[in-house]
Amino acid sequence: MRISTGETHANNDIDSVNLADPCFFGLGDPHPIWTRLRDHAPVYRQCPRASTPEFWAVTRYDDVARVLGQHGEFTAARGNILTTLGETDIAGGKMLAVTDPPLHGRLKAPLAPRLSKQAVRELEPALRELTRRVLAPGASPETWDFAAQAAFYPIGIAGLLLGIPERSWAGLTSATYAAVAESDPDYAQPGAARSAVLSRAHSEIFLYFHTEVARPDRAEADDLIGALLRAARDDAALTREEVILNAYSLLIGATVTTSHVASAGLLALLENPAEHARWLATGDTPALVEEILRWASPANHALRHTTKEVRMHGTIIGAGQPVSAWLGSANRDERVFPDPFRFSVDRRPNRHIAFGVGAHRCLGAHVARLALNVLFDEIGRNFERIELAGEPRHLQSTFIAGIKNLPVRTVPRPGGPALGEQRALSRTVEGDP
């Protein structure tokens, strides 16, 4: 999905929109349509198209916050993304993202303390080391692909949190990308149906965690899988299946979002040189990161189903209906953000909801924030100049707004901190011990 514009688009006719079509996001710019929906059809009924049944769409900030935050009216247990629409989500009631309170609290309890703001601070040195490896190709004058490098940052973060060894990073990264963008030509297999690509990606990830939790000493590890396994063993609070499902949820949550924010953020800086200069002058990286999160909103939408008849803007939505809440649109709602299509590195206040709202608000928000602050801090310290060196390529996914390729040329800052190992992560992970 293209992230930045908001200018007119050839296809901004509300009646022709198909919010369930990944090509719409990969090849086009959804912002003009979202703006029209916010203004003219804030509660929009998307007609059934191809294999996708009918669903509702809300695009205004307050409505998105209500759908995601009011679990009495809207349940997550029947699936939280559009690609599962019409199917029974087998993880419902067992995996964090698709379980309603109070059951949801039982799954969250072993994880939340380890992902608190306080707890994740300890990760900063490891994140800085990882960042320098991500940025290492920037030490040479040749063109390099920032997005391809950045794709390995979140799996490194997930590796730290879940104890995933580096030799498994490349395989798990491809599987998680295929799991959220199964129609993207880079992940689809020729002749294979979308469902086959999805199911292969899911099987690879599940097999990995299945093998992990079967290891006899795994519960002793000082990481999130260890914490889940101890909750299963000591308090019988979780089943083994729930441990695997929630490890999967953490991996997907971590990998498919953070790198896209990084690429979208860098692209926004390159497209707005005055803002880039302003950030370098003030050094206010925390404000920059919040604006990048608002701008990028990588989790495009989240899905819920009504638990009862619900009225929104005079429209009645019957009980049991699917309602998609578009976070990318909410974060550009002019009712909340003055001049929302302006990328402003010191926007304050900045009440973006890129991490969601309510009980399901992102469990990895503190670690993602810290990781992005470290990454942009290192970008600022290391590079005197960064230029776009080719066309960015966007991911085809209804769920994730992302960039697959971002070719850049960089000029290192003289006397800046030494970039880490001078090797590209993407080229080396396969063979590492």
Residues that bind ligand HEM (CB under 6 A): 68, 76, 80, 96-97, 108, 157, 161, 249-250, 253-254, 257-258, 261, 298-299, 302, 327, 354-356, 360, 362-364, 367-368
Residue whose C-alpha is closest to residue 400's, from 192, 187, 197, 258? 258
Residue whose CB is less far from ligand HEM, 160 or 310: 160
DSSP string of 375-412, one letter each residue: HHHHHHHHEEEEEE-S--EE---SSB--EEE-EEEEEE
Q: Where are the alpha helices (DSSP H) in 272-364?
A: 273-282, 285-296, 327-330
In the complex, minimum distance from the CB of residue 72 to ligand HEM, in angstroms, rounded to a whole number: 15
Residue whose CB is less far from ligand HEM, 108 or 404: 108
Residue whose CB is less far from ligand HEM, 300 or 344: 300
Residue whose CB is less far from ligand HEM, 224 or 425: 224
Residue whose CB is less far from ligand HEM, 66 or 419: 66
DSSP string of 225-264, one letter each residue: HHHHHHHHHHS--S-HHHHHHHHHHHHHHHHHHHHHHHHH
In the complex, minimum distance from the CB of residue 175 to ligand HEM, in angstroms, rounded to a whole number: 16
Residue whose C-alpha is closest to residue 428's, from 172, 174, 149, 204? 149
In the complex, minimum distance from the CB of residue 115 to ligand HEM, in angstroms, rounded to a whole number: 6
Q: Where are the alpha helices (DSSP H) in 163-239?
A: 169-180, 194-214, 224-234
Distance CA 104, CA 375 (A): 32
Distance CA 332, CA 350 (A): 11
Looking at residue 403, its amino acid is I
Residue whose CB is less far from ligand HEM, 198 or 367: 367
In the complex, minimum distance from the CB of residue 71 to ligand HEM, in angstroms, rounded to a whole number: 10
In the complex, minimum distance from the CB of residue 80 to ligand HEM, in angstroms, rounded to a whole number: 4
Residues 211/225, Cβ–Cβ less than 8 Å: no
With CB atoms as reference, the residue minimizing the distance to ligand HEM is: 364
In the complex, minimum distance from the CB of residue 104 to ligand HEM, in angstroms, rounded to a whole number: 6
Distance CA 78, CA 81 (A): 9
Kindly calculate the radius of gyration of the chain based on its CA atoms and give it in whole angstroms: 21
Distance CA 38, CA 15 (A): 14
In the complex, minimum distance from the CB of residue 20 to ligand HEM, in angstroms, rounded to a whole number: 17
Residue whose CB is less far from ligand HEM, 58 or 419: 58
Angle between helices 365-382 and 152-162 (to 10 degrees): 130
Residue whose CB is less far from ligand HEM, 249 or 426: 249
Distance CA 119, CA 117 (A): 6
The 10 Å Cβ neighbour count of residue 61 is: 24
Residue whose CB is less far from ligand HEM, 9 or 106: 106
Gap between the terminal Cα atoms of the chain: 36
Tell me which DSSP letter residue 111 carries: T
In the complex, minimum distance from the CB of residue 196 to ligand HEM, in angstroms, rounded to a whole number: 25
Centroid of chain to Cα 18 = 21
Residue whose CB is less far from ligand HEM, 326 or 419: 326
In the complex, minimum distance from the CB of residue 359 to ligand HEM, in angstroms, rounded to a whole number: 6
- Please name the residue that has the structure tokens 């935050």: 69
In the complex, minimum distance from the CB of residue 101 to ligand HEM, in angstroms, rounded to a whole number: 9
